[in-house]
């Protein structure tokens, strides 16, 4: 009977100071996560509402954990209530999902009263996120780019262009070729991998030195592909 009352009885009563301390600490730590997320964000569509969701989500979870306490019945009731709520905003990046999950973990730690776990976890995870952002770990497209130019479709011209590509690139592949200027010129698109990042301007300049080559441009793909 005592075990039944312990599980399904009243949850532990918290003081106002402890409730405010838990929610405010959750707010501070989630704001730290949100700031690190802004510093390390590399996507194409930044969402201010997602950053607010991270902060408010941690605070809400902290409140729910304090409301549940050690009461199993309340936990099941809140779980059933949350199951009804459907979040229709998709999270496109798995990295965004990890930041949101970390904020929810902070809320759980603050709500459960394990402040040391929440603080140490926030510091460690933020340090890891900054380290991964600043280091070249897992990067495979550091010197890759898309080269485009137009020129007459003559074998001699193609030979000159390939000589320049061999000088500046460790690898290059023709990915597209189409007519331009009503068929008088051909537009070429090459996937190139530079030998060194300093060769970006050299490659374009050497192509411009060839009189027949027009509108040469190089788009590096590190920031547009590895998101």
Q: Which of 202, 203, 200, 223 is nearest to 141 (CA)?
A: 223
> Domains, the chain, ranges and CATH?
2-134 (no CATH), 144-225 (3.30.70.260)
CB 215, CB 149: distance < 8 Å: yes
The pTM assigned to this predicted structure is 0.59
Name the strand (E) or helix (H) holding 208: helix 199-209
Q: What is the pLDDT of residue 119?
A: 92
Q: How far apart (Å, rounded) are the C-alpha atoms in residues 32 and 36?
A: 6
Those residues of the chain that have pLDDT short of 70 are: 1-13, 43-44, 73, 77-78, 80-89, 136-143, 181, 183, 221-227
């Amino acid at each position: 009977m005592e075990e039944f009352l312990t599980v399904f009885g009243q949850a532990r009563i918290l003081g106002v100071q402890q409730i405010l301390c838990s929610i405010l600490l959750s707010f501070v730590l989630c704001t730290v996560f949100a700031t690190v997320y802004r510093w390390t964000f590399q996507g194409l569509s930044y969402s201010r509402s997602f950053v607010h969701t991270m902060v408010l989500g941690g605070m809400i979870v902290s409140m729910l954990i304090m409301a549940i306490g050690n009461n199993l019945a309340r936990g099941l009731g809140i779980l059933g209530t949350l199951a009804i709520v459907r979040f229709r905003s998709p999270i496109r990046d798995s990295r965004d999902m990890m930041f949101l999950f970390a904020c929810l973990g902070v809320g759980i730690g603050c709500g459960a009263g394990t402040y040391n776990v929440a603080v140490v976890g926030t510091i460690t995870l933020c340090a890891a996120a900054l380290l991964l952002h600043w280091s070249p770990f897992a990067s495979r497209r550091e010197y890759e780019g898309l080269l485009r130019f137009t020129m007459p479709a003559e074998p001699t011209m193609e030979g000159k262009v390939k000589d320049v590509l061999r000088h500046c690139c460790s690898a290059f592949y023709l990915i597209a070729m189409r007519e331009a200027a009503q068929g008088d010129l051909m537009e070429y698109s090459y996937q190139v991998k530079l030998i060194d990042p300093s060769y970006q301007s050299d490659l374009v300049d050497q192509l411009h030195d060839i009189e027949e080559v027009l509108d040469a441009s190089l788009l590096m793909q590190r920031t547009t592909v590895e998101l």
